[in-house]
């Protein structure tokens, strides 16, 4: 693989102790905070991140980009946990959310990075499911996973999951509060968390101003489709899943290029209201007219 070309780096945070091969391919240092929740998405030019009825649509949208798989694997290698929703698990049959699950070729270098960071061999997989509608034999569970669910979901999964898995009940039969989930994960010592969840969970993380950063691969492809006519069965775009009337300002932390793919990294400032016509709203809670 040709290295990524670094176009911009704001220099935020200390560089990780990357093995030489990973730093060369990434086009420079990877800087991450110790504590942070960062999401990784690949999207088409028209903002599509998921395609109904297509298993693992990310690789279709990325045009099977090796550079995109490399960045995904690198982020997994640096993470203490990888968070997904059950929708992503269901659409990734056979997948393992580990560095070598996406890039076997550089497994040794990812393992070396984890050794240098003092991390266990694999990031902890955390799966969020209200209904417990997951295949207990999914290979993603093999290295051990934390399944966060409701009482109903736990009943459905009782006795079915591999012994290496742990079930955590955080709600009765309703959706789990993702803010509470993060408090529990942090309390369990998981500082640096990568979210590879789909639009449904990501929307909740953004709505709660819980997402610190977004690693966004902009793939050089238009997907097309009739999203407006088929909002539940057609393609999903991340903006289409976000609550209306809210904006999420972000700062560019780095930009890279690999062929016609762009690798962008943003830091969010938190959610705010869209200004009404005629001017900016007063800051939330300031009490000013
Ligand atoms: N382009 C990309 O980079 C990218 C990245 C990630 C995912 N994707 C794609 O996105 C698609 C999946 O989208 P998605 O939005 O369905 O995925 P998702 O957000 O990962 O999963 C949604 C599921 O998570 C559970 N969930 C969500 N919020 C919950 C809450 N508050 N409490 C308890 N459980 C909760 C529910 O599972 P139950 O129904 O079991 O209760 C829900 O159906 C897949 O095709 C995937 O490949 C693409």
Query: From residue 35, how far is each of 11, 38, 127 by CA, in Å?
Result: 17, 10, 20
Of 18, 5, 1, the closest CA to residue 67 belongs to 1
The answer, yes or no, to whether any atom of ligand 1 lies below 6 A from the CB of 131, is yes
* Average pLDDT taken over every residue of the chain: 90
**What is the C-alpha to C-alpha distance for residues 263 and 215, in angstroms, rounded to an integer?**
7
The answer, yes or no, to whether any atom of ligand 1 lies below 6 A from the CB of 129, is yes
Chain segment 86-140, per-residue pLDDT in tens? 999 999 989 999 999 999 999 999 999 999 999 999 999 999 999 999 999 999 9
Answer yes or no: are the C-beta atoms of 70 and 106 closer than 8 Å.
yes
Q: Which atom of ligand 1 is nearest to the CA of 150?
A: 33
Q: Which atom of ligand 1 is nearest to the CA of 130?
A: 41
What pLDDT is stored for residue 284 in this prediction?
A: 45
Chain segment 264-275, per-residue pLDDT in tens? 999 998 777 887
Using 50, 70 and 90 to split pLDDT, how confident is the model at 231?
A: very low
- Mean pLDDT throughout 194-223? 94
Q: Is the pLDDT of residue 230 over 80?
A: no
What pLDDT is stored for residue 52 in this prediction?
A: 80
Give 175 Cα–ligand 1 centroid separation in angstroms: 12
Q: Which atom of ligand 1 is nearest to the CA of 203?
A: 19
- DSSP, collapsed to helix, strand or coil, labels residue 204 as helix
Which residues, in sequence order, are CB contacts of 51 under 8 Å at separation 6+? 57, 60, 61, 223, 225, 235, 236
Beta bridge partners of 125: 82, 145
What pLDDT is stored for residue 222 in this prediction?
A: 92
What pLDDT is stored for residue 234 in this prediction?
A: 62
Of 61, 38, 69, the closest CA to residue 237 belongs to 61
The answer, yes or no, to whether any atom of ligand 1 lies below 6 A from the CB of 237, is no
Count of CB atoms within 10 A of residue 265's CB?
24
**What is the C-alpha to C-alpha distance for residues 17 and 3, in angstroms, rounded to an integer?**
18
pTM: 0.93
Instruction: Supply the DSSP string of 100-139, one letter for each residue.
Output: HHH-GGGHHHHHHHHHHHT--SSPEEEEEESS--S-TT-G
Give 198 Cα–ligand 1 centroid separation in angstroms: 4
Describe the crossing of helices 107-117 and 66-78 by its angle, rounded to 10 degrees: 30
Residue whose CA lies nearest to ligand 1 atom number 22 = 87
Chain segment 242-272, per-residue pLDDT in tens? 877 888 899 999 999 999 999 999 999 877 7
What pLDDT is stored for residue 236 in this prediction?
A: 80
Percentage with pLDDT > 70 across the chain: 93
What pLDDT is stored for residue 227 in this prediction?
A: 52
Using 50, 70 and 90 to split pLDDT, how confident is the model at 232?
A: very low
What pLDDT is stored for residue 235 in this prediction?
A: 73
Give 197 Cα–ligand 1 centroid separation in angstroms: 6
Using 50, 70 and 90 to split pLDDT, how confident is the model at 172?
A: confident
Answer yes or no: are the C-beta atoms of 44 and 223 closer than 8 Å.
yes
The values of phi and psi at residue 242, to 5°, are -90, 150
Q: Is the pLDDT of residue 147 over 90?
A: yes
Longest dimension (CA), the chain: 59
Q: Which atom of ligand 1 is nearest to the CA of 56?
A: 47
Tokens of 127: 């799966």
Percentage with pLDDT > 90 across the chain: 75
Chain segment 153-164, per-residue pLDDT in tens? 999 999 999 999
């Amino acid at each position: 693989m040709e290295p990524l070309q670094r176009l911009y780096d704001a220099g935020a945070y200390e560089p990780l102790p990357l093995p030489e091969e990973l730093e060369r391919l990434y086009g420079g240092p990877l800087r991450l905070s110790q504590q942070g929740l960062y999401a990784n998405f690949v999207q088409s030019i028209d903002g599509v991140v998921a395609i109904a009825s297509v298993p693992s649509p990310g690789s279709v949208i990325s045009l099977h980009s090796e550079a995109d798989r490399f960045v995904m694997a690198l982020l997994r290698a640096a993470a203490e946990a990888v968070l997904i929703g059950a929708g992503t698990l269901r659409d990734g049959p056979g997948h393992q959310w580990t560095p070598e699950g996406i890039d076997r070729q550089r497994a040794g270098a990812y393992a070396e990075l984890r050794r240098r960071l003092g991390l266990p061999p694999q990031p902890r997989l955390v799966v969020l499911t209200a209904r417990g509608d997951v295949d207990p034999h999914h290979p993603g569970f093999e290295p051990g996973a934390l399944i966060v669910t409701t009482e109903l979901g736990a009943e459905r999964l009782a006795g079915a999951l591999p012994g290496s898995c742990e079930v955590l009940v955080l709600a009765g039969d309703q959706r789990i509060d993702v803010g509470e989930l993060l408090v529990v994960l942090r309390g369990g010592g998981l500082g640096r968390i990568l979210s590879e969840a789909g639009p449904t969970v990501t929307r909740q993380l953004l709505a709660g101003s819980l997402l610190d950063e977004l690693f966004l691969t902009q793939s050089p492809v238009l997907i097309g489709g009739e999203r407006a006519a088929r909002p539940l069965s057609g393609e999903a775009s991340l903006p289409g899943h976000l609550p209306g009337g809210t904006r999420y300002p972000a700062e560019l932390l780095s930009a890279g290029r690999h062929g016609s793919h762009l690798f962008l990294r943003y830091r969010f400032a938190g959610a705010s209201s869209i200004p009404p016509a005629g001017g900016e709203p007063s800051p939330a809670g300031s009490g000013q007219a």
